[in-house]
Amino acid sequence: MTDLRADDLRTLARQQIPAEVWDFIEGGSGDELTVAANTAAFAAARLRPRVMVDVSAVDTGVTLLDARLDTPVGLAPTAYHQLVHPDGEVATAAGAAKENALFVVAMFASRTLEDIAAPAAGPLWLQLYWLRDRDAIARLARRAAAAGFAALVLAVDAPRLGRRLRDIRNRFAVDGRVRAVNLDASLMAASHDRQAGASALAAHAAQTFDASLTWADLAWLRERSPLPVVLKGILTAEDAAAAVAHGAAAVIVSNHGGRQLDGAVATLDALPEVVEAVDGACPVLVDGGVRSGRDALIALALGADAVLLGRPTLWALATGGSDGVADLLRHVTDDLAHDMALAGRPSLRDVDRRLIRAVTNAR
């Protein structure tokens, strides 16, 4: 298992995941232009390795919101892990803990926050959507702090759901045996209802997501929880500067894996302007199309403090449970360390923009 690359996991996972669940995971919105752009941006970057540097010891350790991690590679929030493995997020958390890696748990996790936190030695953050039912958010924010989560991650790119044509064509609804158990069943009912709309998830989001979210609302969340608030879904310098001004503890450069605005900029292409605007005021993370240690190295060179894996997490969980998740994290981290050595960068402090030959924004 250890030597499997993310692409190999994808091939294996595809063989065992039911077709409509596969489409839900794999798909993006619209023409899936942004899904393709995310990986293409990494593939286009070229590196400037240095030589005659002592790389006999390579260190991938990083500190993020006061937590010491062994790797800058973590797991992005993805909903409903029980769709691909009976133990769901409990297995994912155990895998991440084994590698002392960050796991961002989704608001629509299929296991309770308390069960997920139990085996985890690694830090957990909790992702939230801005629901009209503000009490539900406040309750989750309180429970997360009590369960030992270290941060809240507000997804700010989902006033409504992107138009995911695969789900619409499949009339996708979440299997009723898999539930977002951290929220009231009544709030989640439409997600399981094949009559709710062509995509039950889109119908559910239309009912429950609050599209009126603005910067002024952040204070409400910050007052309700002692946890730092991270914003996920930032793609521009303007919003990065606003995030810092409104007290974001970190920002995650993300286009939601190409599942929200189709045609949105590739995350790697958005990263430099966000890093420049944040100017060291808080950590910058990035997700979207990260599949290898090389991808991680490129993002770190362009100023990211950490990278998150979305779809690969589900491939690994589906094919290998908690060991699969740990193997994925170890593999990508080993690959990163290998490339750091060959690039003459023994620690993440040495990984900077000079490592990248040229970044073109037009593609």
Q: What minimum distance in Å lies between the beta carbon of 301 and ligand FMN? A: 18
DSSP per-residue letters across 244-313: HHTT-SEEEE--GGGTSSTTPPPHHHHHHHHHHHHTTSS-EEEESS--SHHHHHHHHHTT-SEEEESHHH
Q: Which residues sit at the interface with ligand 7N5, rule CB under 6 A?
A: 79, 108, 161, 201, 204-205, 256, 259
What, of ligand 7N5, ligand FMN, none, does residue 37 touch, CB below 5 to 8 Å by kind?
Answer: none
338 is an active site residue: no
Residue 134 or 338: which CB sits closer to ligand 7N5?
A: 134
Q: What minimum distance in Å lies between the beta carbon of 258 and ligand 7N5? A: 10
What, of ligand 7N5, ligand FMN, none, does residue 208 touch, CB below 5 to 8 Å by kind?
Answer: none
Residue 58 or 251: which CB sits closer to ligand FMN?
A: 251
Q: What minimum distance in Å lies between the beta carbon of 336 and ligand FMN? A: 16
Q: What minimum distance in Å lies between the beta carbon of 269 and ligand 7N5? A: 21
Report the residue closest to ligand FMN, judged by CB.
Answer: 310
Residue 38 or 350: which CB sits closer to ligand FMN?
A: 38
What, of ligand FMN, ligand 7N5, none, does residue 310 touch, CB below 5 to 8 Å by kind?
Answer: ligand FMN
DSSP one-letter code for 106: -
d(CA 175, CA 50): 51
| Helix and strand element counts for the chain (H, E) | 14, 10
Count of residues in the chain = 363
Residue 24 or 149: which CB sits closer to ligand FMN?
A: 24
* Residue partners of 220: CB distance under 8 A and separation at least 6: 134
Helix or strand or coil: residue 50? coil
What, of ligand FMN, ligand 7N5, none, does residue 201 touch, CB below 5 to 8 Å by kind?
Answer: ligand 7N5
For the chain, state the CA radius of gyration: 19
**Catalytic choice (192, 204, 256, 331):** 256
Count of CA atoms in the C-beta half-sphere (13 A) of 301: 27
Q: What are the catalytic residues?
A: 256
